[in-house]
Amino acid sequence: MLHAIAILAIWTTAAMTAPRPLLWTGDEKENPWKKKAPDIVAAAERGSSAAAWAEALDALWRADDWREGLRLATAAEQRFTREASLRGRIARALWRAGQLTRAEATIATLDGDTTDRVALAAMARALHARGEVARARELAARLRRLPEPTAEELSLFMEVALQDAPSAEVAQVAREIARRIDAANGYPDIHMAEAMEGMPEYFDKVGDQPLNRVSSHGSAACAPISMINLPGVDLFVNGKGPFRVIVDTGGSITLSLDTELGETLGLPRLAGGTVRGVSGKDAAWQTIADEVRIGDIVCKCVMTRVFGVRAAAAQSCDGILGTGVFGEARLTFDFANGRLLVEPSSERPAAGRETPLRVIADSKLLSPVTIHGEAATALIDSGADTTALAPSLLRRLFPGEEIATIAAPMAGVGSTEAPGIAFVRGVDVEFAGRKFDRFGGVGLDVLDTILSSHLGVQSDLLIGMAVFREMKSFTVDFPRRRMWIDWLDP
């Protein structure tokens, strides 16, 4: 049944509160660099100038052609082994293509004192994903201080600084971003106008209060929500409730509430906006929940988005709680005992096997996997009831095989579009020490389109609840970027 592909929250809270360009769409506006890039690349490959290759890598970035960018970056690595001026661009292309390990190896060779803007951005992005936040913040601040910072560079500063920078400063940066967006620059500017909608006004009105502050650690009952089979908790907002919400590792750094509920609670409309999801876009507004309580877990000043959640979730719940709300803490899904735990971040290992983790964009969780023997990148999303593969990966693994995609209306955020799915042969996957034979069987085009552009990293695999159900527990320590999985016995 298509219900099994109900990706309810992976793209829900999109551009609303995420500091980084949030949820970018496909090609709503024509990107002029898609036509320019091929000629620039061809000219570079005919010559031997490192400067021409740098221009070609820049053109492919602006065109957001990550496949061709990966090919050219790989060739540049081999051709210009000692050319330091290309390394930042090579790292950026590798990161965009989901080749995180290779990108980090290249970034490790970069000069930390460089004034190369691309290299600075690549370093800041990778260090932040690994949890080296202080160093990432320093590099992002240097980018901001350079003459005429771009909207992209300022957006990176917002991403790194949001959790601990005063909101007044974030509001100022948001205004600077809005002023500097120029669609003629191509990616990512071409997608950013909608993403920044309402952001300066929102942070202006929030003031300097710290956001998403965990004031009381503890635990709460957590059980699957009927109909959609996703993990849910009972939640109180400003003392009122309980309301049933999905707990979503793909749901950003916000709490999303249904429009009717937001109005009933009398939450202030601090700014407008739109929200994009797997099925298009809907109108939304931004607000603050002064207090959110889940069991004996209490959070203050929670970033909140209000839109038609109930319709998106087939009337099964009242909201979606993005686990990025707990970005200063350690979160555990204790599936064996039906509990959600929020604890202080610590060096103490959690139960199970530790597996590499990168936290990117608006608290999305990425981890390396092996697919058919190839290194790949997976997005870990408890707000998805299924597992899905990127069609680009399937075409690479099975060249010559037809991958037919059909439009598939499904439950999910948005009401203007239908995502494309394909039913394909399964693949062999290894993740966190566990092997899955003939895994998947569903291709989902938004992994190659909407999500890929949004994250700035290509994800080959979406790991949803079909895999979580094989775990006793799942733990993420957000500040330390550490993750543990305790598997059920085979």
pLDDT, tens only, 299-355: 999 999 999 999 888 899 999 999 999 999 999 999 999 999 999 999 999 999 999
Q: What is the CA radius of gyration of the chain?
A: 21
Mind listing the pLDDT tens digit for each residue in 48-94? 899 999 999 999 999 999 999 999 999 999 999 989 999 999 999 99
- Whole-angstrom CA distances from 452 to 64, 95, 389, 392, 424 are 10, 11, 13, 11, 20
Give the integer Cα–Cα distance in Å for 321 and 383: 10
Q: For position 419, what pLDDT does the model report? A: 67
Looking up tokens 């080296």, which residue turns up?
Answer: 132
What was the pLDDT predicted at 318? 97
Phi, psi of 247 (to 5 degrees): -100, 115
- Contacts (Cβ under 8 Å, ≥6 apart) of 199: 15, 174, 177, 178, 271, 273
> CATH assignment of 358-478, given 1.10.10.10, 2.40.50.100, 2.30.40.10, 2.40.70.10?
2.40.70.10
Neighbours of 28 (CB within 10 A): 12
Question: CA 148: distance to chain centroid?
Answer: 27
Q: Is residue 169 helix, strand or coil?
A: helix
Domain 14-206 of CATH type 1.20.140.10: no
Q: Which DSSP category does 352 fall into?
A: S
Residue 474: partners with Cβ closer than 8 Å, 6 or more residues away: 332, 333, 335, 382, 468, 483, 484, 485, 486
The pLDDT value given to residue 170: 86
pLDDT of residue 1: 23
Amino acid at 412: G
| H-assigned helices in 181-303 | 189-195, 199-206, 259-265
The end-to-end CA distance of the chain, in Å, is 26
Structure tokens of 270? 């601090």
pLDDT for residue 319: 96
Please report, as a single letter, which amino acid is at residue 34. K
> How far is it, in rounded angstroms, from Cα 190 to Cα 202?
22
Q: Alpha-carbon distance 342 to 257, whole Å?
A: 21
pLDDT score recorded for residue 278: 57
Kindly list the domain boundaries of the chain, sorted by start residue. 14-206, 213-344, 358-478
As a whole number of angstroms, the distance between CA 217 and CA 8 comes to: 27
Q: Which residue has the tokens 């319709």?
A: 311
Backbone φ and ψ for 401, nearest 5 degrees, come out as -85, 135
Phi (first) and psi of residue 80, to 5 degrees = -120, 65
Fill in the amino acid letter for 214: V
**Residues 209 and 169: beta-carbon distance below 8 Å:** no
pLDDT given at position 6: 34
pLDDT at 409: 54
Assigned superfamily of 213-344: Acid Proteases (2.40.70.10)
Write out the DSSP string of 326-340. Answer: GTTEEEEEETTTTEE
Query: Smallest Cα–Cα separation from 485: which of 436, 432, 429?
Result: 432
Residue whose entry in the numeric block shows the structure tokens 């948001």: 174
pLDDT at res. 224 = 95
- Residue 230: both structure tokens together: 């996703």
* Separation in Å, CA 453 to CA 55, 327, 329, 431: 21, 23, 28, 24
Residue spans of the chain under pLDDT 50: 1-27, 411-416
Q: Which residues are bridge partners to 388 per DSSP?
A: 462
Phi and psi dihedrals of 448, rounded to 5?
-95, -15
Do 213-344 and 14-206 fall under one CATH topology? no
Mapping DSSP to helix (H, G, I), strand (E, B) and coil, where does residue 317 land?
Answer: coil
Q: Is the peptide bond before 242 cis (omega within 30 degrees of 0)?
A: yes
